[in-house]
Amino acid sequence: MSIASGSSTPVTRLGTPLSRTSTPLARVAELTRVEDLWFPDGQLIVHAGDRIFRVHAEVLEQQSLALRGILAVRQANIHSEHYEGLPALPLSDPPDQAEHYLRAIFHPETFPPPPQAVTFDALDAVLRLSHKYDSTTLRARGMQHLATLFATDVASLTPDTTCSLADADDTAAFLARALALIRDTHADWALPHALYDLHTVAWADASDLEHIPDGVLAPADYAHAFRAARAVVDWWPAEDVLLYEDRCARRQTCAEMQRGFLSGYMDEWRTDPLRFFWPEGAGEEYVRQLCEPCAAVVRSRHAGHSVAFWQAFPAALNLPGWDVLWGMKRRDTGGI
């Protein structure tokens, strides 16, 4: 049978042959042994929920400073629980997340570095637990994947940028999960792009917010999203899209284009101003129909305002400036 989402690894249902000191495991009616994480020569049983794993303790200790400390304490405690004569380590994490995390440790090819693709479920699990258990190598790899999803400079917001998340999308539900991951792993450098994208989704169709499951976002996250929306809407002057009358080569035509644009495209302008004049953006058709001097000025104004907005955006979100955020990103990703 299949186990965690996206996995086809077989599992085996077992009874619970427990020692008298293994009360937590004894409360589990039926255990699921995960075959590719069950090593016959493993010296440690790890269990999360109803799933159990037999692994090499020394590998786990090498990969996680926190688990190394926990194992040392449990080894010194004669009352620690056992399973089939082996010491057992209980994890309070969701079974799916524990499985992704352990698989990334013992089968690292299943969680490769970018540009190779991973799923968001795998990233969410591995990054959360590597952050929690101080697995520095895995945490950096997870942050590298997160960095392919959320940019920290205007130029990298382009759709040409390669994202290593195989199942990333632009729905509010996906962005909410990403925001929760960013929040819980303190990856503040990813917040501006994530919140900007959530604004573009919500402004275009507020009903999309109804698809965010309860409990994914905290009240503070919604406050962040509101500040982001206010910053985007308030920052961008309509003058960015106005023609340049002093040098206009065909004033009547450009003036008509301007009037039509202001009446028909202002919602799109407020939704995603950073990408407005990019290829396939709502404003690209408008600019193509302007005379050359007007088009050049509109593009130049927009480029200047884009950089200025991006520089000011963190402050609007009560975040430190980009110099600090870039430093955090370098630390988190190992300098990549």
- 146/140 Cα distance (integer angstroms): 10
CA dihedral 58, 7, 166, 98 (to 10 degrees): -40
Query: Tokens representing 267?
Result: 């919602």
> Per-residue b/e over 194-210, b at no fewer than 16 CB within 10 Å?
bbbbbbbbbbeeeebbe
Percent of the chain with pLDDT over 90: 58
Averaged pLDDT for residues 33-55: 97
Q: Tell me, what amino acid is at 215?
A: G
Q: Is the pLDDT of residue 7 over 50?
A: no
Averaged pLDDT for residues 154-163: 82
Range of weakest confidence among 67-71, 123-127, 196-200, 291-295: 291-295
CB 21 within 8 A of CB 79: yes
Contacts of 277 (CB under 8 A, 6+ apart): 283, 284, 287, 298, 299, 302
Domain 11-136 CATH class label: alpha beta
pLDDT interval class at 239 (50, 70, 90): low
pLDDT interval class at 162 (50, 70, 90): confident
Indicate the pairing of strand 86-91 with strand 11-14.
Answer: unpaired
CB 197 within 8 A of CB 177: no
- 116/93 Cα distance (integer angstroms): 26
DSSP conformation letters of 120-159: HHHHHHHHHHHHHTT-HHHHHHHHHHHHHHS-SSGGGGST
Which among 283, 270, 277 is positioned nearest to 300, based on CA atoms?
277
Q: Which value, in Å, is the radius of gyration of the alpha carbons in the chain?
A: 26
Q: Tell me, what amino acid is at 247?
A: R
Query: Tokens representing 75?
Result: 């080894």
Domain parsing of the chain, residue ranges: 11-136, 179-336
- The helices-and-strands tally (H runs, E runs) of the chain is 14, 6
Q: Is the pLDDT of residue 215 over 80?
A: yes
Residue 293's H or E segment, with its range, is: helix 292-316
CB 131 within 8 A of CB 184: yes
Which among 145, 197, 186 is positioned nearest to 166, based on CA atoms?
145
Indicate the pairing of strand 51-55 with strand 11-14.
Answer: unpaired
Q: What is the DSSP letter of 206?
A: G
pLDDT interval class at 243 (50, 70, 90): low
Range of weakest confidence among 16-30, 117-131, 180-194, 255-269: 16-30
- 115/118 Cα distance (integer angstroms): 9
pLDDT interval class at 207 (50, 70, 90): confident
pLDDT interval class at 27 (50, 70, 90): low
- 121/53 Cα distance (integer angstroms): 19
- 221/179 Cα distance (integer angstroms): 8
The number of residues making up the chain comes to 336
Which among 177, 167, 7 is positioned nearest to 103, based on CA atoms?
7
Tell me what pLDDT residue 4 has. Answer: 34
What is this structure's pTM?
0.87
Q: What is the DSSP letter of 98?
A: H
Burial of 39 (0-12, 13-18, 19+ CB in 10 A): middle
Q: What is the DSSP letter of 29?
A: S
Tell me what pLDDT residue 91 has. Answer: 96
